[in-house]
Amino acid sequence: MNLTALRRACSAAAALLGLLVATPAAAAVDKTLCVYDPSGAAGPTFQNAKAYQAQALQWGVNFSLKPYTDESVAAADFRNAQCDAALITGVRVQQFNRKSYSLEALGLAPTASVLKTALQVLAKPKAAALMTSGAFETAAIYPAGEVLLFVNDRSMQDTSALAGKRVCTMDFDDAAKTMVAVVGAHPVPADIGTFASKFNNGSCDVAYAPAAAYKPLELHKGVGAKGGVVDFPVTQMTLQLLIRTADFPAGFGQQSREWSAGQFDSIQAVLAKIRKDVPAASWIQVEGDKKARYNKMLADTRAKLVASGSYDATVVKLVEQIAAQ
């Protein structure tokens, strides 16, 4: 090969290399990811979404992030195609994908380790059908902490003590409404933006939320001197990222689920630190027969919701098998 031919070959190779390097960025499609975070763009969920944004470029999607402090608006904008993707709580996801929402079934994952295993299983390609529902696909699931009962009276350590009590109940949360009915309590309509103020001003006796809500929402005001936090998880809260499958590159959802499942431990470590925001003296321990009654109440309520179609039977059975191991 003469010198001229060699130069041409090198130039062609360099051009091809440049094309290959540039292809992911050049081919990336622009999408909008609407992120629910009570603290807006300054909040931890929105900040964590930036790491996802950077990773998504590797899968051919260039996300612009849009913060929402009102989750109902974020969900509505996604439904109305004002967002290409949405990061919202699992309970809001039920209107789009009842299968992935069912991970939050009452009492289903008693520990974070059970949830972690479930997410690893559901991130496998063979479980992809459980992550899709019609046009919608759950492309990522993150832990958001145990959902606990905040009470204004420490005597509410047993399910029987909840009878007749006023419980701040999310308007859109059918599972919570069913549980409240099962224990004989009275629902006080609320939403994510109002439940804390209603609990804190005494409009309800019980509120349910992850420990992460204790400090920023000042739930110590509702707990008061006589109340506490029942140290028994009602369910495991999640944050889930939704897309419309047809609007994204082939395989995007699968790559996204596999990556997000690998983020579990780092997120859980942060949640463990946040749990310490609840003073040690405020924890109410549930042991022995009381724990057994809580477990039975949650299992009975979960069975009712599976029978009614509120929960997906396949997902619930899968996680129940994991929990039994």
- Give pLDDT tens digits for 57-78: 999 999 999 999 999 999 999 9
Tell me the one-letter amino acid at 288. Answer: G
Residue 216, domain member (yes or no): no
Residue 23 has pLDDT above 60, yes or no: no
Residue 118, domain member (yes or no): yes
* Residue 285: band (very low, low, confident or very high) from pLDDT cuts 50, 70, 90: very high
- Rounded Cα distance between 176 and 187, Å, is 9
pLDDT tens figures, 114-123: 999 999 999 9
* Residue 11: band (very low, low, confident or very high) from pLDDT cuts 50, 70, 90: very low
CATH of the domain at 244: 3.40.190.170
Residue 299, domain member (yes or no): no
Residue 205, domain member (yes or no): no
Res 157: pLDDT: 86
Res 192: pLDDT: 83
Which residues, at least 6 apart from 27, have a Cβ–Cβ distance to it below 8 Å?
60
Residue showing tokens 């696909």:
137
Res 113: pLDDT: 97
Residue 268 has pLDDT above 80, yes or no: yes
For residue 127, the enclosing domain spans 16-144+237-277
- Rounded Cα distance between 290 and 152, Å, is 19
Averaged pLDDT, 218-232: 96
Q: What's the angle, vertex CA 302, arms to CA 300 and CA 308, rounded to 5? A: 105
Residue 245 has pLDDT above 50, yes or no: yes
Averaged pLDDT, 244-259: 97
Residue 321, domain member (yes or no): no
The pTM of this model reads 0.89
Counting the structural domains of the chain, the total is: 1
Residue 70: what are its φ and ψ, rounded to 5°?
A: -115, 110
CA dihedral 101, 106, 108, 110 (to 10 degrees): 120
For residue 266, how far is the Cα from the chain centroid?
15
Higher pLDDT, 191 or 236: 236
Residue 19 has pLDDT above 60, yes or no: no
Residue 40, domain member (yes or no): yes
Averaged pLDDT, 153-161: 91
Residue 76, domain member (yes or no): yes
Residue 215, domain member (yes or no): no
Res 253: pLDDT: 98
